[in-house]
Structures are given as structure tokens and as C-alpha cells.
Amino acid sequence: MTIPLHEKLISVKSLLNVDYFLLKKDWLIVENNRSDSIFMCIHLNTGHCNKALGNKGKGAKAYLFPKLVNEQQNSFCILDFEKCEKIDVTLPSFDL
């Protein structure tokens, strides 16, 4: 079985240090190794980062040990194993 692959280069205006990523329809969801924006949602057609979220740390909205997890077709979740929290995210509304 042969799977056809299509190459398309996009220009992203953000510095990425990728630990893990997901492709969801028209979106690239990136888990960065950055302390200021751990997760970024980038539209594949435009290369624009529509949402960047998450800081590493011990504050109320910070993550200690986060992980990006693939879920249904138009959603994913963020697990923080240290805080025992699950945050569900729906595309493209990015309701958090």
C-alpha cells in the first residue's frame, strides 16, 4: 500500500522548539520546549499562530509537567501529570 504525501512549506513567524506535535485538519498543534508558550495552534494555510498558551511554573495558570494528547477529530487535551489536571481544547474555537 502506498500513501501519497504532499509537501507544503509554511512560514511560521514564531520560534518553535518542538517536543511533540499533532496535525488536526487545517491545524498544527505544537508542544514546545519553551517556558513562555508551551502550546501553539498554527493554521496550516496561513502559518499564523492563532493561539499560544501555557507557561511552565507553579502559578495558578502554569503547568508543571504538561503533555499534549490527541483526542477526537476536532479536539485535543492537555494533561498536567503533576497537578492531575485535564484541559480539553476544541478546534477552531480553542475554548479552554
Q: Is residue 52 part of a domain?
A: yes
Q: Is residue 25 part of a domain?
A: yes
Grid coordinates in use for 15?
A: 520560534
Q: Which residue range forms the structural domain that includes residue 31?
A: 18-90
Q: Is residue 33 part of a domain?
A: yes
Average pLDDT value for residue range 75-94: 85
Angle at 18 between CA 13 and CA 23, to 5 degrees: 85
User: Would the pLDDT of 92 be above 80?
Assistant: no
User: Would the pLDDT of 96 be above 60?
Assistant: no
More confident residue, 47 or 21: 21
Q: Is residue 10 part of a domain?
A: no
Q: Is residue 4 part of a domain?
A: no
Rounded CA-CA distance 52/2 in Å is 36
SS3 readout for the chain: CCCCCCCCCCCCCCCCCEEEEEEECCEEEEEECCCCCCEEEEECCCCCEEEEECEECCCCCEECCEEEEECCCCEEEEEECCCCEEEEEECCCCEC
* Number of domains within the chain: 1
pTM of the predicted structure, to 2 decimals: 0.76
pLDDT in tens, 26-53: 888 999 888 788 988 888 888 888 888 8
Angle at 67 between CA 81 and CA 42, to 5 degrees: 150
Angle at 14 between CA 64 and CA 44, to 5 degrees: 100
